[in-house]
Structure 1
């Protein structure tokens, strides 16, 4: 019998082999519960996640919020391939060994051993959320994924889409996907130093966070992760966004790792025990971010 992955045992998807043994005496101390796979222990509030490659390490508080992934977990329980549809501006990258979709599939299969992961990538280059909604519905019908990873917000921000219209379109589409028993992971806009000074752009980032919390779906905080990595670069943003740090190079490799980490940890979220979606694990974006209007408090 092959060795069972520790993650599957922790998820309760597989059981360890049972060995016959005599019953312990009635007064014997209880055995400790088996260890559960969990995030690496942090040495401080902002300790970087050491499970990531050194150049991609970001504290979990700046990298993701977590929520349950029921459809992916169901696929694992049924011992079938997990189908992933990734959409957004970088999802249609050329299919080379260095591309984001290939890196993502490799990272997911490494994180979920003995699981076949099939990643289908579709670019939505320059397409805003409201325009992407109809095409996304067609893609879902065609591919029938267990999980949709949606990089969203950058095109809307550059097009200066009205904030509430953007949030409404994103909300509606996420709800539609979930209504078909498909999981969703959102990825918010990219970061550059110049865009960080744009109040409207930051409001779009905030809206993605609010929708993720309201709809109880995991969020990969690409904006915060890139800002953190940029600040840690000895050569500054010129190096971060230059030839040595293009999005199809280190940026894409880090993004694949970051998305995989959020998915893996979301799979460890406990199953629902009531009718509510339950809380998302994670922290809100920093309060020092400028905004053009007062953002409503996140739904609880």
Structure 2
């Protein structure tokens, strides 16, 4: 039986068309969040209706998202925490910037803790030190002193390691700094948010790969990465709050 001309053309177009793109989700493997620890100060703050979070870090915490400041991961974290714990106010303060080391964070931390008492401190570290080839042991000791200061103020702590990047791995000896952050987190009983492993997982599964994203699509991919990281952090925080209760 011969197909009508229009039907035949439609069939040929369907055969030639590429398959639909598979749905991509920024899933979080359970082992990445296995470092969850009780976050009692965070749980108390949420029960009292107001959560203050201090984020220490380098360039990734202060750079806006591709589509604007609201797309940066700290801003997304604030919005997602407010949605996860409705009826509570969530305030986030940022301290740091491009090129800031752990030693620089010490002064920022003293100033911040003198001015207010956050319930939760997120400390992103290790990237600037790795790029500059600084002593990882010196970085670890400086973090230890800072973590003791935070504990004395009664705040919870989450340590964030580096972002995954082929360029970073090719141009810096990143592993000693990742190892040091793991040791520091374990010694202080602080959860380690394994950002490096999580981003590497998304690259290897094809979910998010900024370095191989077309330039025209990189802005949207950056916003998506920020949102995915914030969502994973919310899960880690929520687990810590549940364990504290």
TM-score by length of 2: 0.79
Alpha-carbon distance, 1:200 to partner:
2.8
Deviations 1:107-158 (A, max 9, x none): 1112222221111223332111122111211122223211111111111111
Deviation string, structure 1 residues 28-51 (Cα, Å, up to 9, x no partner): xxxxxxxxxxxxxxxxxxxxxxxx
Which of 46, 49, 66 is 2:36 aligned to? 66
Q: 1:91 aligns with which of 52, 61, 69?
A: 61
- What does 1:185-224 correspond to in 2, within 5 Å? 185-197=158-170, 200-224=173-197
- Structure 1 length-normalised TM: 0.66
Residue 256, structure 1, aligned to residue 230, structure 2? yes
Mapped partners of 2:92, 2:102: distance in 1:
21
Q: Larger helix proportion, structure 1 or 2? A: 2
Gaps of 5+ in 2: 1-22
Residues 232 and 148 of structure 1, relative CA distance in 2, 3 Å threshold: same
The Cα offsets for residues 2-32 of structure 1, whole Å up to 9 and x where unpaired, read as xxxxxxxxxxxxxxxxxxxxxxxxxxxxxxx
Within-5 A mapping of 1:1-300: 55-63=25-33, 65-77=35-47, 79-89=48-58, 90-94=60-64, 96-197=69-170, 200-233=173-206, 238-239=211-212, 244-245=217-218, 248-270=222-244
* Distance verdict in 2 for CA 1:236–1:265, change over 3 Å: closer
The aligned counterpart of 1:30 is: none
Q: 1:65 to 1:235 in 2, by over 3 A?
A: closer
**Aligned residues between the structures:** 218
Q: Which has the larger radius of gyration?
A: 2
Q: Which runs of 5+ in 1 are unaligned?
A: 1-52, 272-300
CA distance in 2, matches of 1:83, 1:117: 6
Q: Structure 2: how far apart are the matches of 1:167 and 1:196?
A: 20
Q: Deviations over 1:175-219 (max 9, x none)?
A: 111111011111101111243356731110111111111101121
| Structure 1: distance between partners of 2:208 and 2:82 | 33
Query: Higher relative CO (CA 8 A, sep ≥ 6), structure 1 or 2?
Result: 2
